[in-house]
Structure 1
């Protein structure tokens, strides 16, 4: 993610005593991430001081539960707040691949309607169809007017980086092809031995319900290898939050930030 979004985040890194310190610098904020690596109180203390010196609203991001616990123990007076907009949604893969029970009835109906109206094939993203995937992304960006909006412009660049470095980054992906042409894609990878993470899901608006097909086909592809699927955050976008909650996440991965006083 950092690699693909580097033109937006302007990330800089520092390795100190076996720990990796990452700083992001966008047009809207500057912040550090809690150091990655072995527990090293000296490095942790120094990073917290660097973050406080930024005088930003949220100068330090705390991404792991143990980091939150460490901060609470060693800096009980500092204020750590949850950022609900950046909670990751984590689902049971077998649930996403079957959509069982009454609570998924309306999604199943919409999925069946899509399949009646737009019969589709599903293919893996490989070297043989990369050019078609790139053509699809051009169409998607034209319809979304990516170049008019900063975040969409950078997202377009991030997805192109993902495609250009697909094998090197260890990505996998699928295409959903109504009427013989790519109408939607998903790009994902292993997050840990139990969890896959879906980085990108994009579709053209021609066939209503195509995102539900992408979601299910991704889960069907992953269900024999991973217990969970992390579908990342909703970024505080109301429609996206509603769509993600409709699939009833198993749990959230919470993000905390240091509130600078």
Structure 2
């Protein structure tokens, strides 16, 4: 049996622990990334505990707990312990599944348990080469838009390094003034997450690309490794100074990662129609899906 007392907060000191865990059991969804957990810890309050040979992760958002895992070798007994805990301590949506191996294990053991796909939080995963090269008719409109941006705005591009982070902070402030971050709970939380990423850029192993227009940063992306085959873009921002900067940031990011990672994860669309349309326009290779189970259904899983 596992209890809340077995959990401890996810902290920067856990980097070696999670690096070893994810070397053996690579994550496929951005929400399982240690970078994500650390940057968003102020909001989701991530904690973890060992169960059997695996690890279960808990998050608490606005007082509602949810659980995921165990991350580790298939273990029906450990899974049962996690689901029992989710029934005792979880919120309405008490259990999340972020990978096919766990989905298969849960489905095989509890075939009658309703597992609901959460489309809003499915990650978009692209072929990095496609986003870098924008080949063929599928990307014709994007290429035209990008070419116009480069012709009219004459951007320059450079890697984000520790020496550039001061300018990145200034860019973020301008972006938040434009988007009125402090008036939006979602953007205010994201601003805090991005500030953490910038402050811990080196420790997190982040990389980035910045696009300048008239000498000032107009667009920026921060990214890192998710697994051996996939990089994940954690933050991607652009100012309205010159139409097309987001497309430039996206293409420049992929161009720098091409040859290192076959796939590029650009996270979810959060159910926002405009963002979904924009992400679909780039023709994802696949979605890293999310499934959930409600506490009331977990209670009845043995019936």
Tell me the TM-score normalised to structure 1 length: 0.96
**C-alpha contact (below 8 Å) 2:231/2:261 kept by paired residues:** yes
1:146 is matched with 181
Aligned residues: 261
Alignment partner, residue 209 of structure 1: 244
Q: 1:229 aligns with which of 243, 254, 264?
A: 264
- In structure 1, how many angstroms separate the alpha carbons of the residues matched to 2:135 and 2:292? 36
Equivalent residue number for residue 192 of structure 1: 227
1:155-194 equivalence runs, <5 A: 155-194=190-229
1:11 has 2:46 as partner: yes
**Which runs of structure 2 are paired with 1:1-261 in the superposition (5 Å)?**
1-27=36-62, 29-54=64-89, 56-261=91-296
Deviation, structure 1 residue 28: 7.1
Structure 2 spans left out of the alignment, 5+ residues: 1-35, 297-303
1:80 Cα offset (Å): 0.5
RMSD (CA atoms): 1.3
Question: What is the SS of the residue equivalent to 2:211?
Answer: strand
Deviation (angstroms), 1:25 = 1.2
Structure-2-length-normalised TM-score: 0.83
Instruction: Name the CA distance, whole Å, in 2 between partners of 1:219 and 1:78.
Output: 39
Q: Distance in 1 between matches of 2:82 and 2:281?
A: 38
Aligned partners of 1:132 and 1:101: how far apart in 2? 36
Q: Distance in 1 between matches of 2:159 and 2:100?
A: 35
Select between 14-23 and 248-257 the one with higher mean Cα deviation. Answer: 14-23
Offset from partner CA, 1:10-37 (integer Å, 9 cap, x none): 2222223332221111127431112212
Q: Distance in 1 between matches of 2:50 and 2:200?
A: 24
What is the distance in 1 between the residues matched to 2:176 and 2:286?
Answer: 32
User: Separation in 2 of the partners of 1:110 and 1:208?
Assistant: 8
